[in-house]
Amino acid sequence: MEIEPTYRDLIKELKEKKIRLSYQRVKILDYLNQHRTHPTADEIYTGLIAEIPSLSKTTVYNSLNSLVKANLIQELTIEDNENRYDIVTETHGHFKCEECGRIYDFKVELDSFNPEELKDFQINQKGVYFKGICKKCLETNQKNLQNEE
Amino acid sequence: MEIEPTYRDLIKELKEKKIRLSYQRVKILDYLNQHRTHPTADEIYTGLIAEIPSLSKTTVYNSLNSLVKANLIQELTIEDNENRYDIVTETHGHFKCEECGRIYDFKVELDSFNPEELKDFQINQKGVYFKGICKKCLETNQKNLQNEE
DNA sequence: TTCTTTATTGTAATCATTACACTTTATTAT
DNA sequence: ATAATAAAGTGTAATGATTACAATAAAGAA
Ligand SMILES: [Mn+2]
Ligand SMILES: [Mn+2]
Ligand SMILES: [Zn+2]
Ligand SMILES: [Zn+2]
């Protein structure tokens, strides 16, 4: 696979971490870049299997773990039964709708937030997860109520 | 099991939700009240099996789910492979040490924080999870380095 | 007590993720 | 370029937390 020049230094950095940017991994990265829905490993697998018939689900898991370790992507643990992946590695909040399951991004300023209780702690990662019902679902519910009358 | 008078109104509220405060559930609640370490279902089971030899792990899971639904306890999803439980239901932050696994509480003021992106969303729950290395582990690491010299 | 509902228990099933052994591909040395 | 070495991909089996299910027990209502 031809690699664009802009990726040169990235690849170099990965080489130092001994993480190769293989065909499969680039495709997974590309999928995450085009699908900003915070997909699961299974969704990524299903989305790529047509284009890469040889793809193994194990490869998806292995690749995602490598990419997380290289800090190219972020792993989200919102529900206990599924990990999700995000190509945006900067700290931001995630809202999961308990009705439709969609996950929304929102801005959160946490750089300046260092709680007293964690003084002298080394903080590596900050996660903010909200749950509730999204605007779309609230509107749908409202319409259904009106139709029932 | 004899129930203390202070629980009277609580039990009434639970009755309305059709959730009975059985012997096992009270014991689980009591365990969570005495062990503020955010234990897993398995840790609760192991901690109670000596006192309640008939206890089933399924009961622990069922009870925890009922207590969460009744909002008597809170479910924490920090890592994907284990849910943890907290008798403190007020919103607060959790720090998980990546070295020793301990989970620390910290204060977080989120009542006033309503991100622009979630305008018109119904927010039911706010979770804040930090990860890193705790003070104890950092100090231990430091000592080990000194001894190696 | 008798009827009805809810809870407990043990076992089997589920399902996301990982372990493992093998093959393929990429990198390095000769 | 060829051979040797290291990393990655693949398929299948294992793992492990959680849930489903059916039978039994306990609690509440009548
Ligand atoms: Mn995101
Ligand atoms: Mn807590
Ligand atoms: Zn929704
Ligand atoms: Zn620690």
Q: Please calculate the CA angle B92-B70-B96 and round it to the nearest 5 degrees.
A: 30
Q: State the pLDDT at residue A3.
A: 45
CA A143 / C1′ C20 distance in Å:
54
Q: Is the pLDDT of residue A120 over 80?
A: yes
Contact B127 A122 (CB under 8 A): no
What would the pLDDT profile of B53-73 be if each residue is shown by its tens digit? 999 999 999 999 999 999 999
**Stronger pLDDT, B146 or A44, i.e. the higher one:** A44
Burial class (CB in 10 A: 0-12, 13-18, 19+), B84: buried
Q: What is the pLDDT of residue B8?
A: 64
What's the rounded Cα separation, in Å, for the pair B127 and B110?
A: 9
In three-state secondary structure terms, A88 is coil
B100 touches chain A (CB under 8 A): no
Which candidate from B105, B122, B129 shows the least CB-CB separation from A132?
Answer: B122
Q: Are B31 and B89 in contact (CB under 8 A)?
A: no
What token pair was written down for B15?
Answer: 């009755």
Q: B95 — contact with chain A (CB < 8 Å)?
A: yes
Report yes or no: A47 and A34 within 8 Å, Cβ to Cβ: no
Contact B107 A116 (CB under 8 A): yes
pLDDT in tens, B67-119: 999 999 999 999 989 999 999 999 999 999 999 999 999 999 999 999 999 99
Residue A37 has pLDDT above 90, yes or no: yes
Type and span of the H or E element at A22: none
Domains and CATH numbers, chain A: 1-76 (1.10.10.10), 90-149 (3.30.1490.190)
B 20-49: CB within 7 Å of strand C: 20, 22-25
- Total CB pairs under 8 A between chain A and B: 109
Mutate to test the interface with A, among B121, B123, B137, B141 (most CBs of A within 10 A): B121
Q: Which nucleotides of C are covered by protein (CB under 7 A)?
A: 5-11, 15-20, 26-27
Start-end of H helices in chain B: 8-16, 23-34, 41-48, 57-69, 135-148
Q: What is the pLDDT of residue B50?
A: 97
Helix %, strand %, coil % of chain B (to 5): 40, 20, 35
This model's pTM is above 0.85: yes
Examine the pLDDT at B147 and tell me if it is beyond 70. yes
